[in-house]
Amino acid sequence: MLRRVCDGLRGKRLSVARINEMSIENASPAQLKVALVEDDAAFQAAFRQALAGAPDLITTGIAATVAEARTLFAAPAADVLVVDLGLPDGSGIEVIAEGRVRWPECAIMVATTFADERHVIASIEAGASGYLLKDSPLETIAQDIRVLHGGGSPISPRIARQVLMRFRPDDRPAEAAEPEGSKGVPSLSDREKETLQLITRGFSFEEIAELMAVSRNTVLTFVRRIYAKLEVRSKTEAVFEARAHGLL
C-alpha cells in the first residue's frame, strides 16, 4: 500500500525548485510530465519512486503549499497534475480550480485521505477528473496517470460506490415515502428542483436559462431561493444538502 511505503520514507523532504529544474531539463517529448501538489514529504518521495519505475512518466514539479503551486503554474505546463486536498495554507480545491485556468490542457487528479462526498463533489466541480484515496496500491498509480491523460477518470472503488449510491433511485414505494416538507426537509418548487437538477449535471446559469426557456435573471432568482431554503452559499453545498435531504 502507498501509505506503508510513505511511512518508510518519512522525513525525506525534497526541494521544489531543484526538482523542477532537473526534471524539466531531462524530460523527453515522449514522456508524460507529471506535477504533484502535496505537503507530506513521505508521499512526495513515494510518488517520485513510483514514477521513476515508469519510463513514459516523469515528475517535473512538486509543490507543498497553495503558494508553491501558484509558482509551479508559472512554469511550462505539466500533462497531469496530482493534488492533495489538505494543504497547510489552504485547500487543494483552490489549486485544482487555478490549475484548470493556468494549465487548461492539463488533466487533474486528486490523491487524498478525504473520502466524504462534500470533498469529492467540490473537487469535480473545480476541475478534477480523477479521485484516488491514499490507501490505493502503489503499483497502480502510474497506470492511473496514464488512464487520466488518455481521457479516463480513475476513481477509488470506495469513492465510486459512494457516488453511485447517491445516484441510485429510491426503491421505496411512493406511498411509503415521507411527504415533501415533512420532518424538516426543505420544500422546493418544481422549477427550483429542475434548476437544481441542471446544476448537478454541470450546466452553467446561461445554459440552464436556455434549457428552461427563461432569462438568466430568473435562473438566478431560483438559485437564490434554493440557497435560502437549503441554508447554503454555493452550488457544491446546495447539491450536497439536496442529496442529504433526498431531494435529488
Could you tell me if 3 and 134 are in contact, meaning their C-beta atoms sit under 8 angstroms apart?
Answer: yes
Residues in the chain: 248
Could you tell me if 117 and 59 are in contact, meaning their C-beta atoms sit under 8 angstroms apart?
Answer: no
Here the cell at position 2 is 502507498
Average pLDDT, integer, range 197-226? 86
Burial of 130 (0-12, 13-18, 19+ CB in 10 A): buried
Q: Which residue has the higher pLDDT, 140 or 137?
A: 140
pLDDT tens readout for residues 49-96: 999 989 999 999 999 999 999 999 999 999 999 999 999 999 999 999
Q: Is the pLDDT of residue 103 over 90?
A: yes
Read out DSSP for 22-51? HHHHH--TTSEEEEEE---HHHHHHHHHHH
Here the cell at position 139 is 503499483
This prediction has a pTM of 0.62
Q: Is the pLDDT of residue 9 over 50?
A: no
**Could you give all domains of the chain from N- to C-terminal order, each with its CATH number?**
2-165 (3.40.50.2300), 178-244 (1.10.10.10)
Give Cα separations from 247 to 66, 164, 208, 241 (angstroms): 35, 16, 19, 9
> How would residue 185 be classed by pLDDT, with cut points 50, 70 and 90?
confident
Question: Cα dihedral sign for 204, 206, 212, 218?
Answer: positive
Residue 118's pLDDT is what? 84
> How would residue 236 be classed by pLDDT, with cut points 50, 70 and 90?
confident
Could you tell me if 177 and 219 are in contact, meaning their C-beta atoms sit under 8 angstroms apart?
Answer: no
Q: CB under 8 Å to 129, separation ≥6 — which residues?
A: 107, 108, 109, 148, 153
